[in-house]
């Protein structure tokens, strides 16, 4: 476990309740690593070992591990309280439902300012146990709630989970400098594919919301017209869905053309090898993978599943297709594989859009500005910032 200093400086705590790889976890790590609040040190709180812990150590981010034992577990809350007091925590960024609930309670009992960061509909699932209690806790105990897309914010407000004044939208951002790699052919070589193979890739853990069954149906249609096409899907694999997808490739007769390669360490290297990026999800709070593909100079085909509509301007810097419409997705993929001049223009516009709107710098500035409201009791101490985070589910950028 990483050691944590206990000198007189106060602490900004970053916490998440998952341990494996994923989009929300990457955002959590980037914020914990790069968000600097003057006069405050950084500390991460996680629930146990795993990929997130390994990344914290690799990035030299101080952290503590405390394992929760169910909703409203008093011994766990006592441990958290002791940590908060010992480290003089003055602000918390709590990612995903479990962490947001924990620090909602602390917000109610101790007035500790906590900002909940919700990454998708799963964080406000109406089928959760104790839904009324959980919603009341978050509504009353969190100072602000960050939604990673306008659609997620609108959904929470419309359903009464939070008020308009509580919600701010901050789109996820990436370090665009990492996505300038050139294709090396390593991926094709690792799969024993010919140099002329055309790679259609997707990036995301094997979960129902990714709707890879839809992508496989589209793949079968694409391969009928373009036999050089191969589909490569990268992401952590989970049963029984993985077995079902393998069975589907056999039933469609495309087993030799579809490659599930599991979790990958470098999304930038993976995306650089692709000819087309395809997102087939039925639901996305945002989509880190989509902006990574845009930054990598790969044509993007994405379903209208929530987050992508706020990322991709249809026909300008990518293509949007209906959810669960494998024929529409196949048609769009085939058009992109033709590498027409129009798609070349889309790629250039997509890269410019990510730089301007979805960069790590832009995201951090918004989170920092939001946190400034709670790190200093005297508003005159708040450092100058050019970014204003507004209520009513909106975020605007302006000079101040």
What angle do helix axes 96-110 and 131-141 make, rounded to 10 degrees? Answer: 60
Question: 265 and 233 in one domain?
Answer: yes
Task: Note whether residue 5 is domain-resident.
Answer: no
Q: Indicate the number of domains in the chain.
A: 2
pLDDT value of residue 82: 95
pLDDT value of residue 38: 87
Region 311-318: mean pLDDT is: 94
Cβ count near 122 (within 10 Å): 15
Task: Note whether residue 3 is domain-resident.
Answer: no
Asked if the model's pLDDT at residue 121 lies above 80, the reply is no
What are the pLDDT digits (tens) for 328-338? 999 999 999 99
Question: 201 and 132 in one domain?
Answer: no
Q: Which H or E run contains 301?
A: strand 300-303
The confidence band for 390, taking pLDDT boundaries of 50, 70 and 90, is very low
Task: Note whether residue 153 is domain-resident.
Answer: yes
Question: 145 and 223 in one domain?
Answer: no
Question: 110 and 33 in one domain?
Answer: yes
pLDDT value of residue 392: 37
Task: Note whether residue 86 is domain-resident.
Answer: yes
State the Cα–Cα distance between residues 315 and 342, nearest whole angstrom.
9
Question: 363 and 381 in one domain?
Answer: yes
Residue 82's domain spans which residues? 10-173+359-397
Min mean pLDDT across 129-133, 142-146, 200-204, 390-394 is at 390-394
Contacts of 308 (CB under 8 A, 6+ apart): 279, 281, 284, 287, 290, 302, 320
Task: Note whether residue 4 is domain-resident.
Answer: no
Closest C-alpha to 55, from 21, 24, 83, 23: 21
Question: 123 and 112 in one domain?
Answer: yes
Question: 16 and 149 in one domain?
Answer: yes
State the distance between the two ends of the chain, measured CA to CA, in whole angstroms.
42
CATH number, domain at 209? 3.40.50.2000
Question: 207 and 96 in one domain?
Answer: no
Region 335-354: mean pLDDT is: 92
Min mean pLDDT across 22-31, 70-79, 123-132, 207-216 is at 123-132
Question: 165 and 21 in one domain?
Answer: yes
Closest C-alpha to 316, from 287, 280, 335, 343: 343
What are the pLDDT digits (tens) for 60-85? 999 999 988 766 678 899 999 999 99
State the Cα–Cα distance between residues 37 and 203, nearest whole angstrom.
33
What are the pLDDT digits (tens) for 1-43? 544 444 558 999 999 999 999 889 999 999 999 998 888 999 9
Task: Note whether residue 2 is domain-resident.
Answer: no
State the Cα–Cα distance between residues 236 and 22, nearest whole angstrom.
9
Min mean pLDDT across 126-140, 143-157, 206-220 is at 126-140
CB pairs under 8 A, 24+ apart, for 242-248? 242/206, 244/213, 245/206, 245/212, 245/213, 245/216, 248/213, 248/216
State the Cα–Cα distance between residues 51 and 56, nearest whole angstrom.
9
Region 215-221: mean pLDDT is: 98
What angle do helix axes 23-34 and 288-295 make, rounded to 10 degrees? Answer: 70
Question: 281 and 206 in one domain?
Answer: yes
State the Cα–Cα distance between residues 218 and 302, nearest whole angstrom.
12
What angle do helix axes 23-34 and 51-58 make, rounded to 10 degrees? Answer: 30
Q: Calculate what percentage of the chain has a pLDDT beyond 90.
A: 75
Q: How far out from the chain centre does Cα 21 lie?
A: 10
pLDDT value of residue 239: 94
Question: 294 and 393 in one domain?
Answer: no
Region 160-175: mean pLDDT is: 92
Q: pTM of the full predicted structure?
A: 0.84
Task: Note whether residue 121 is domain-resident.
Answer: yes
Question: 349 and 263 in one domain?
Answer: yes
pLDDT value of residue 164: 92
Region 239-245: mean pLDDT is: 97
pLDDT value of residue 125: 65
């Amino acid at each position: 476990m990483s050691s944590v200093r206990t000198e007189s400086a106060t602490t900004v705590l970053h916490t998440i309740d998952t341990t494996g790889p994923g989009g929300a976890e990457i955002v959590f790590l980037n914020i914990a690593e790069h968000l600097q609040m003057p006069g405050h040190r950084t500390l991460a709180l996680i629930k146990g070992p795993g990929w997130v812990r390994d990344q914290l150590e690799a990035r030299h981010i101080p952290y503590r591990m405390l394992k929760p034992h169910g909703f409203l577990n008093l011994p766990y809350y006592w441990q958290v309280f002791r940590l908060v007091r010992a480290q003089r925590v003055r602000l918390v960024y709590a990612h995903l439902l479990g962490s947001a609930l924990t620090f909602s309670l602390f917000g109610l009992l101790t007035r500790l300012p906590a900002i909940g960061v919700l990454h998708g509909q799963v964080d406000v699932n109406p089928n959760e146990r104790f839904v009324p209690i959980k919603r009341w806790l978050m509504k009353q105990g969190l100072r602000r709630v960050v939604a990673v897309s306008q659609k997620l914010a609108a959904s929470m407000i419309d359903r009464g989970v939070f008020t308009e004044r509580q919600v701010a939208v901050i789109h996820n951002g990436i370090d665009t400098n990492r996505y300038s790699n050139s294709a090396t052919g390593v991926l094709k070589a690792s799969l024993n594919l010919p140099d002329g193979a055309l790679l259609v890739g997707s990036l995301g853990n094997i979960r129902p919301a990714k709707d890879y069954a839809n992508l496989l149906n589209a793949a079968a249609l694409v391969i009928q017209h373009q036999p050089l096409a191969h589909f490569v899907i990268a992401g952590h694999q989970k049963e029984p869905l993985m077995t079902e997808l393998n069975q589907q490739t056999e039933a469609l007769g495309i087993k030799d053309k579809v490659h599930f390669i599991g979790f990958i360490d470098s999304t930038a290297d993976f995306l650089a090898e692709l000819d087309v990026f395809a997102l087939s999800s039925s639901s996305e709070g945002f989509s880190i993978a989509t902006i990574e593909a845009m930054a990598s100079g790969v044509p993007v085909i994405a379903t209208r599943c929530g987050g992508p509509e706020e990322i991709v301007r249809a026909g300008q810097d990518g293509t949007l297709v209906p959810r669960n419409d494998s024929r529409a997705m196949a048609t769009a993929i085939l058009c992109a594989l033709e590498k027409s001049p129009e798609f070349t223009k889309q790629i250039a516009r997509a890269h410019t859009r990510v730089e301007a709107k979805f960069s790590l710098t832009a995201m951090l500035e918004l989170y920092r500005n939001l946190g400034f409201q709670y790190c200093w009791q005297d508003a005159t101490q708040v450092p100058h910032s050019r970014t204003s985070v507004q209520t009513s589910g909106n975020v605007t950028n302006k000079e101040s």
